[in-house]
């Protein structure tokens, strides 16, 4: 039995396999992929594994091993974040300049304002989470002090 496939199989991640054993090996590996970032209509794909490993495909074939390249990983996550923001904006923003309060506003201006509001909201969330943590820590200390006082008073009785 030949190990060659009749035609190259293409995985959902974009990797082209040339043999049955290569396909089986890749499918095991592919389950470990957490994200895929692609450029130029899929010409380049960066596979991000759950363990932080990075591999780059070019036209679906292994091209570069990016192990240990934190800069590429950081850029990939930034690309994914920006693509997500862009998708959100495309859903809510008008396609053409609009009038707001009697003033014409461009999509660029709306985008800038949206990012500013989003940043303010995140800062407020971070602040509230910090306050909640502080209150939790304070109440835990009070509970510990009360427990200590209770034990001390029981020892005196």
What are the tokens at 26? 């890749």
Residue ending a domain, choose from 92, 115, 142: 92
Q: Are residues 65 and 113 both part of a single domain?
A: no
DSSP type of residue 119: H
CA-to-CA distance for 79 and 108, rounded, in angstroms?
19
Instruction: Give 17-61 pLDDT, tens digit per residue.
Output: 656 677 667 666 666 667 778 888 888 888 877 777 788 888 888
SS3 156: helix
Q: How confident is the model at residue 156 (pLDDT cuts 50, 70, 90)?
A: low
Domain count, the chain: 2
Chain-centroid distance of CA 123 in Å reads: 19
Q: Are residues 122 and 151 both part of a single domain?
A: yes
Residue ending a domain, choose from 92, 109, 124: 92
Q: How confident is the model at residue 74 (pLDDT cuts 50, 70, 90)?
A: confident
Class of residue 45 by CB neighbours under 10 A (exposed 0-12, middle 13-18, buried 19+): buried
Q: For position 1, what pLDDT does the model report? A: 42
Q: Are residues 82 and 6 both part of a single domain?
A: yes
CA-to-CA distance for 49 and 28, rounded, in angstroms?
12
The more confidently predicted of residues 118 and 6 is: 118
Instruction: Give 121-150 pLDDT, tens digit per residue.
Output: 888 888 888 887 777 787 778 888 888 888
Q: Are residues 139 and 62 both part of a single domain?
A: no
Q: Is the dihedral of CA 79, 69, 13, 15 positive or negative?
A: positive
The more confidently predicted of residues 110 and 80 is: 80
Q: Are residues 118 and 83 both part of a single domain?
A: no
The more confidently predicted of residues 3 and 73 is: 73
**Contact 35/18 with Cβ under 8 angstroms?**
no
Q: For position 15, what pLDDT does the model report? A: 63
Instruction: Give 55-65 pLDDT, tens digit per residue.
Output: 888 888 888 87
Range of the domain at 153: 96-157
């Amino acid at each position: 039995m030949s190990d060659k496939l009749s035609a190259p199989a293409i995985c959902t991640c974009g990797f082209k396999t040339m043999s049955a054993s290569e396909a089986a090996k890749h499918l095991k590996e592919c389950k470990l992929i957490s994200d895929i970032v692609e450029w130029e209509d899929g010409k380049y794909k960066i596979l991000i594994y759950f363990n932080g490993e990075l591999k780059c495909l070019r036209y679906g074939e292994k091209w570069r091993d990016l192990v240990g390249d934190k800069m590429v990983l950081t850029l990939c996550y930034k690309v994914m974040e920006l693509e997500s923001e862009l998708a959100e904006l495309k859903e809510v923003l008008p396609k053409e300049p609009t009038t707001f309060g009697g003033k014409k506003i461009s999509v660029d201006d709306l985008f800038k304002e949206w990012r500013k509001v989003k940043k303010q909201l995140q800062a407020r969330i971070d602040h509230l989470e910090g306050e909640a943590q502080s209150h939790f820590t304070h109440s835990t200390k009070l509970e510990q002090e009360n427990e200590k006082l209770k034990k001390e008073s029981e020892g005196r009785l």
